[in-house]
Structure 1
Amino acid sequence: MKPPCEIVVWYVIPSIRSKLAKELLNLGMKQKDISVLLDITQPAVSQYISDKRGHELDFDPEVEDYIKNMAKDIMNGELQSIDLIPHFCHVCKTIKTQEVLCQLHKEKVNIPTTCSVCMESENDHCC
């Protein structure tokens, strides 16, 4: 049994990092600076940018825009590394309401299609 949070760790967070790293690179930030900001290695940033990691999930336009705005706020100095946590959680919560997390859980873990645990969760955590 794999809980939905494991799907977040394996697919959602890497996809957020990938999109954010690409946006920051496009805005002129160096890979080393992105790695410091995201608290990951520079080779991991390189893998995110080259789609060797974190490319499994496509976001809807609302989430894409949210991540682009995160990148702009970082570049403008309005958002620091510590401030990223609630923004990552916001993306996870948004994905949950769009049932993307449930779909990933069903595809990647082969759970019954009738499962609705993700949507019935009453807590306010990311997953």
Structure 2
Amino acid sequence: MVKVPCQEIVWDIIPAMQAALAAELVSRGVSQINVAKALSVAPSAVSQYLSGKRGYRIVFDDEIKELIGKLAEDINNGTITENELGDKFCFICRHLRSDEGCGGPIE
């Protein structure tokens, strides 16, 4: 069976984004417990992100790393709501999508 673009987003892109965001937050001094709370995942998931056992399949370019870094800064400063976090995640994901995936880019 062919892997549809939405599967790639759920299985590869979102975990990679969460892994990058978790690493960015921890590098800014946020505890793994608080990272788990911010991302609404289990602390064990954060541990797996940081150890490379989960979310390791994609390496992001500098533009995406910068967007994830800005998101981490907003989370760390407490200047982002839970709804805004979801919106920012979707914004970053849209930047990652190819012209082929999920009906093409969103304008």
Give the TM-score normalised by structure 1: 0.76
Match of 2:101 in 1: 118
Provide the identity percentage.
Answer: 34
Superposed, which structure 2 residues align to 1:1-127 within 5 Å? 1-96=2-97, 99=98, 117-118=100-101, 121=103, 124=106
Give the TM-score normalised by structure 2: 0.89
Q: Which moved more, 1:49-58 or 1:74-83?
A: 74-83
Matched position secondary structure for 1:37: helix
| Equivalenced residues, count | 105
Gaps of 5+ in 2: none
CA distance in 2, matches of 1:80, 1:41: 19
CA distance in 2, matches of 1:27, 1:117: 35
Gaps of 5+ in 1: 100-115
Superposed CA deviations along residues 8-65 of structure 1, whole A, max 9, x for unmatched, are 0000000000000001001111111111111110000000011111011011100000
CA distance in 2, matches of 1:95, 1:21: 18
Matched position secondary structure for 2:15: helix
* Residue 88 of structure 1, CA deviation: 1.2
* Residue 123 of structure 1, CA deviation: 7.7
* Residue 76 of structure 1, CA deviation: 1.1
1:82–1:50: structure 2 CA closer, same or farther, 3 Å change rule?
same
Runs of 4+ in 1 over 2 A off after TM superposition: 116-119
